[in-house]
Structure 1
Amino acid sequence: MRRDTFLKSLAALAASTGLPLEALAAGSNLKMMIPANPGGGWDTTGRALGKALQEAGAAATVAYENKGGAAGALGLAQFVNASKGDPNAVMVMGAVMLGGIITGKPPVSLSQATPIARLTSEYNVFVLPADSPYKTMKDVVEQMKKDPGSIKWGGGSRGSTEHVAAAMIAREVGVDAAKINYVPFRGGGEAVAAILGGNVSIGGSGYSEFQTYIESGKMRAIGVTSDARLKGINVPTLKEQGINVVIGNWRGVYGAGGITPDQRKALTEMIVKATKSKSWAESLEKNGWTSALMAGPEFEKFVDDEFASLRAVMVKAGMI
């Protein structure tokens, strides 16, 4: 019997006999949409999760698809349209996608997919290329006050947490946030190349994306958006430097729209199981991520609250 025929038969058996749906997922291919180009935070998170799912025995294999652009909206659209009703399809997402939906108003929405779980949280770090004429955040701010457009901020898509943070910094120091020169990139790899090549003045992202370059001296970290200094990372907070800006980034996972409550429960159990694996623990430590597991209705409410909160922050920062 062909594998796909076997899996369909097994699914029918589950529906008729009550076989735990996680048993199906453990024996099937999981399809993971990563709505960003390779090399960024979503890509790293998705592949780390896939590895953990397999190590935990929650999935036999994981197939990845990268679709970057529009703060994840392009990948979201493809996921919504191609995966409806598929219990073995998941998508990585997070705060960046919420910001992109608010600013870009795409024709699809997160309500067309199924909330599964929040995974991690981290703060943004701002860096300069090693040969930058600026040495500190104060230098960057002073130049921005003189000529807002002369400072090119590089980071994720419009509406990303680093974009919001840049606008908040401008507002805090008395610069019209609408005048900042923000250059969006579709993935962390593109942003890193732009920073190293001097194509932007300052870049922002999660510490894990810049860690190698900071440690090698190719980038200089000048500020982090956390409330207090991050453990083991000697980078001053923006608050320490007199800029009252604190903003976090979180990442999670959604399932396809149109799945049943039992299928949603099974997916949630799979993800939770994966986060208890040794592989996932190693990924958290390696990337400097903070575990922020939240699932079920609690996660769904969290996303709704985040939409409202982020929209308010963006309005206040002059972004919309």
Structure 2
Amino acid sequence: MWTRRNSILSAGCLAVSGLPTFARAQAARARTPGAQGEAFPRLKIFVPAGAGGGWDQVGRHLGSALQSAGAAQQIDYENKGGQGGIVGLEEFSVRHAGDPGALIIGGLVMVGAVALSHKEALFKQVVPIARLTSDYLVLAVPTSSPFRTFKDLAANLQQRPDRVTFTGGSAGGVDHMLAAMLLRALKTDVAALRYTPTSSGKDAVAALQRGDATVAISGYSEFKAAFDAKLLRPLAVSSRRGNFGIASLREQGVETDLANWRGVFASANTPPDQRDTLARAVIRATESAAWRQSLQDNQWIGSTLTGKELQNFIALEQSMASAVVSLLKLEKT
């Protein structure tokens, strides 16, 4: 049975910067921004990806929830895409080092891109504040595609993988991982994988429509508008069981599954007490009616995680990503 987690090598988990420690919060700090009744006058949410993609959606919905919960008065957004978030992460680390009013969106895609580029030191420039959402990936084709079912796609991959071009997010990211895991599960040479990275699900849809790719992989929320407009046809979803009315890979005979996640980070140079303040603000936002509505509208799974549990989770994800990149022989494209 092939899953991304059973590929973790025995090498030790990578170190992760210290996380918010809520136990240190004291009454003397109770009336700081993020505490009940207090708000940041201004917050920056930095999105290391193009507009319209999954990170952008999460970032903007988080910003709206922060304002709705009274945790922030004004939110400024900035997009800087490239290399699975690495370009934006590098810029954020320099421009917002120690800035207690700046957050950057990230997740498994960024962890994978860091592993692929061997820039683990860069990830130490940020500290995780909270995991926010989980999402499952969908394999989709244009409605005009000869692949009417996933079985059609699987048969083609087993016989002529060189005739199938996948598109999705950045090289080394979660979409790239799933494409490689699929070939491995089908007992097809992973070296034959043809994968064209894009900066968002919207760009992946455009690549399909231009004929530059055969199959696209992205989160359901990024494909939903194209499904509703009958531009794309879903073939399978990466959850263990069917979701969104789509049969899972496992239900269609492929022993693999994968979940994406997204979260929010701050500069590692931000003082611990100010990290705690940011974390309290984010938690307030995730408890708001506005955030619950965002989860429902985008069909995201709320998976808020903070503190030591988040530290352990990300360390495991870093080790997993490094193992998958090595085992599947993923390369920059």
* Distance (whole Å) between structure 1 residues aligned to residue 324 and residue 126 of structure 2: 25
Secondary structure in 1 aligned to 2:124? Answer: helix
Contact kept in structure 1, 2:34 and 2:278, CA below 8 Å: no
User: What amino acid sits opposite 1:93 in the alignment?
Assistant: G
TM-score, normalization by structure 2: 0.87
Identity %: 37
Which segment drifts farther, 65-74 or 295-304?
Answer: 295-304
Looking at secondary structure, tell me which structure has more helix per residue.
Answer: 1
* Distance (whole Å) between structure 1 residues aligned to residue 216 and residue 252 of structure 2: 18
Contact kept in structure 1, 2:201 and 2:223, CA below 8 Å: no
**Which residue pairs with 1:53 in the alignment?**
66
Contact kept in structure 2, 1:21 and 1:262, CA below 8 Å: no
Task: Tell me by how many angstroms 1:243 deviates.
Answer: 0.8
Q: 1:70 to 1:148 in 2, by over 3 A?
A: same
Contact kept in structure 2, 1:80 and 1:113, CA below 8 Å: yes
Q: How does 1:147-226 map to 2 (within 5 A)?
A: 147-226=160-239
Which segment drifts farther, 243-252 or 26-35?
Answer: 26-35
Q: 1:23 to 1:313 in 2, by over 3 A?
A: closer
Q: CA RMSD in A?
A: 1.6
Secondary structure in 2 aligned to 1:135? Answer: coil
**Which residue pairs with 1:125 in the alignment?**
138
* Distance (whole Å) between structure 2 residues aligned to residue 244 and residue 315 of structure 1: 20
Q: 1:198 to 1:87 in 2, by over 3 A?
A: same
After the TM superposition, which parts of structure 1 deviate over 4 Å for at least 4 consecutive aligned residues? none
* Distance (whole Å) between structure 2 residues aligned to residue 52 and residue 185 of structure 1: 28
Q: How does 1:243-262 map to 2 (within 5 A)?
A: 243-262=254-273
* Distance (whole Å) between structure 2 residues aligned to residue 252 and residue 279 of structure 1: 17
* Distance (whole Å) between structure 2 residues aligned to residue 226 and residue 23 of structure 1: 35
In the alignment, is residue 297 of structure 1 matched against residue 302 of structure 2?
no
Contact kept in structure 2, 1:22 and 1:58, CA below 8 Å: yes
Task: Tell me by how many angstroms 1:75 deviates.
Answer: 0.6
**Which residue pairs with 2:7 in the alignment?**
none
* Distance (whole Å) between structure 2 residues aligned to residue 317 and residue 241 of structure 1: 22
Contact kept in structure 1, 2:34 and 2:284, CA below 8 Å: no
The number of residues matched between the two structures is: 302
Task: Tell me by how many angstroms 1:192 deviates.
Answer: 1.8
* Distance (whole Å) between structure 1 residues aligned to residue 174 and residue 40 of structure 2: 37
Structure 1: give runs of 5+ residues left out of the alignment: 1-16
TM-score, normalization by structure 1: 0.90
Task: Tell me by how many angstroms 1:313 deviates.
Answer: 2.9
Secondary structure in 2 aligned to 1:314? Answer: helix
